[in-house]
Amino acid sequence: MKKEIKKIALLTGGGDCSGLNAVIRAVVKAAILKYNYEVIGFMGGYHGLYTDDYIKMDLKTVAGIFHQGGTILKMSNKDNLFNYKTVDENGKTVYKDVSDIAIKNLKKHNIDALIIIGGDGTLTSARDFARKGVNVIGIPKTIDNDVPATEITFGYRTALDHIMLSLDALHTTAYSHDRVMILEVMGRNAGWLALEGGIAGSADVILIPEIPYDINSVAKTIFDRYNRGSKFSIICISEGAKPIDGDVTIKKIDKDSPDSVKLGGVGDILAAQLEKIVKPVTGQDIRVTNLGYIQRGGVTNTFDRVLGTKYGSHAVDMIDRNEFGRMVVIRNNHMESVRLEEVVGSGRTGQTSTGGARIVNPHGDLVNSAKDIGISFGD
């Protein structure tokens, strides 16, 4: 029997990205204007759901937020309510399942459905709440574009714009000083940002996790360009790139985060290696820029504003149809949905999903097209 919907809630979890406010705006406007639902938003992701920190949302709440990066609801990536960090009476750190408190808060507010916007860690908890009877709709979020089942996530294209513009800017300095310029970008274990951003930004070398690189091959590309009269080179490297017979570069371990392994620093390692191989021969200086959080912020571009609107409005339509325990996806430019288990797996409750990310095909059309125009992948 179809459940009558009167009031819904939403939250944003994980790391921020452009397009989140576009999704929030679409959810609120579609819920109110099309279905006459009441809407509240929990602040700070699952932390707000646990502490009952929320705001009432109406058309005025979402006015003027369309273009803004980040999220007006704020977010946290350290609040797995099925494995929540607390301190016991002896001052010892313990992890507890506090999800029932969150469910109690939902019931207190008479919430009929909950829209959860986030990446794999956030969506894993969404799956777990669905298992406990919460009417959940998931919306995928990441600039890395690596969420399984969907072809593209909002925020990705805006991040690509930042990478392209950064590479454009680095070109002028590289040319002026005859330097090798390295730009390290995000992406975790998927190379989409480095690949498409590098192509758009005219990188000479693109290094991605899916194609382990040989440092001598990278150096050869620089030597070949130098000998042809191009005395500068641009390298775009993903934070998850790794050398042949090597491993990823870990910046730190954050045990409180669902994604505990924080990558970073591979650009500096690459630069140190090239200093020893390239500079003695060509005299070129090697410089590194880590684009960091700039990729996740700023004004949301046209594509992500439209895509976020499609994700948000479709999620509300799914609520009307009682299609719960599912995530919105886009395939062949058509909005669909899949079971959350198809995205994050069917593992144990409270255990964050790992693996299964949507990654670059090292033999696909995009990589082959880049190679056709002379871009090296260090292989």
Say if strands 38-42 and 54-57 run parallel, antiparallel, or are unpaired: antiparallel
Euclidean distance between CA atoms 378 and 221, whole angstroms: 8
Instruction: Tell me how many helices (H) and strands (E) the chain has.
Output: 12, 15
Backbone angles phi, psi at 285, to 5 degrees: -80, 150
Closest CA to 349 of 128, 145, 134, 199: 128
How many C-beta neighbours within 10 Å does residue 272 have?
Answer: 11
Euclidean distance between CA atoms 312 and 21, whole angstroms: 10
Token pair, residue 78, equals 């350290």
Token pair, residue 117, equals 């916007």
CA–CA distance from 298 to each of 71, 228, 359 (Å)?
11, 38, 25
- Selecting among 16, 144, 146, 204, the annotated active-site residue is 144
CA angle 7, 9, 129 (to 5 degrees): 110
Site of tokens 């699952």: 46
Active site residue 144: yes
Token pair, residue 41, equals 């938003």
Euclidean distance between CA atoms 100 and 106, whole angstroms: 10
Euclidean distance between CA atoms 268 and 182, whole angstroms: 9
Euclidean distance between CA atoms 40 and 57, whole angstroms: 5
Euclidean distance between CA atoms 46 and 28, whole angstroms: 19
Token pair, residue 163, equals 């990478």
How many C-beta neighbours within 10 Å does residue 55 have?
Answer: 14
- The DSSP result for 282-324, as a single string, is H---EEEEE-GGGGG-S---HHHHHHHHHHHHHHHHHHHTT--
> Could you give the 3-state DSSP secondary structure of residue 117?
strand
Euclidean distance between CA atoms 126 and 136, whole angstroms: 7
Name the amino acid, one letter, at 202: S
Distance of CA 41 to the CA centre of its chain: 21
Give the catalytic positions in this structure: 144
